[in-house]
Amino acid sequence: MSDAHPEPERSIVLVGLMGVGKSTVGRRLAKRLGLPFVDSDEEIERAADHEIGEIFDRFGEASFRDGERRVLRRLIAGERKVIATGGGAFMDGETRALILDRCLAIWLDADVETLARRVSRRNHRPLLVGKDPLPFLRDLAEIRDPVYAEAHLRVASGPGPHEQTVERIVQALAERAR
């Protein structure tokens, strides 16, 4: 594995709060590493033939998490790739154990102010419907950050361009390989 193009032996799974850039960073990271990219939320929507918000509304979060777990199990079983997960995927104990055992989990971490700015630009997040993003994300981070901390690597996702986060990941992978 060279410093310029680290090639992890396992799939890389990006975890972290909504708005941290898992999908955008994941696409760019996959291209940089020459690996396929998959967004687990897109795969869930395809498998269920419903959008995430519809699944939450019609079947509830527990049903969504069950489907999410099944989709991630399938994705992880395939070829090496970069996988962006939904913000809550890593919170499920069974899903987390699967990811930690079979993949390289990378926690993309950002301050809640940055996240609130990012998620305010779009309204497609079921957990945010009717809520002020900043206090909601602050409370969510308090609950989820200790669990995200179980990931193999933690990489800062600052307010700058996502390419900076990709570069930090590539550096962290190179350091891990040494």
Per the structure block, which two tokens stand in for 152? 């193999």
Is the residue at 4 inside a domain?
no
> What's the whole-number mean pLDDT along residues 4-26?
87
**pLDDT tens profile 43-76:** 999 988 988 888 888 888 888 888 899 999 999 9
Is the residue at 147 inside a domain?
yes
For the chain, how many structural domains are there in total?
A: 1
Is the residue at 131 inside a domain?
yes
Is the residue at 1 inside a domain?
no
Angstrom distance (rounded) from CA 146 to CA 15: 12
**pLDDT (0 to 100) of residue 164:** 95
The pLDDT-based confidence of 3 (bands split at 50, 70, 90) is very low
Q: Which residues contact 76 (CB under 8 A, 6 or more apart)?
A: 11, 13, 83, 98, 99, 102, 103
The pLDDT-based confidence of 122 (bands split at 50, 70, 90) is low
Is the residue at 5 inside a domain?
no
Is the residue at 2 inside a domain?
no
The pLDDT-based confidence of 7 (bands split at 50, 70, 90) is low
> What's the whole-number mean pLDDT along residues 127-139?
79
Indicate whether 131 pLDDT > 70: yes
> Domain range for residue 171?
12-177
Is the residue at 3 inside a domain?
no
**pLDDT (0 to 100) of residue 119:** 80
CATH number at residue 53: 3.40.50.300
User: Is there a contact between 129 and 174 (Cβ–Cβ < 8 Å)?
Assistant: no
Is the residue at 7 inside a domain?
no
Indicate whether 105 pLDDT > 80: yes
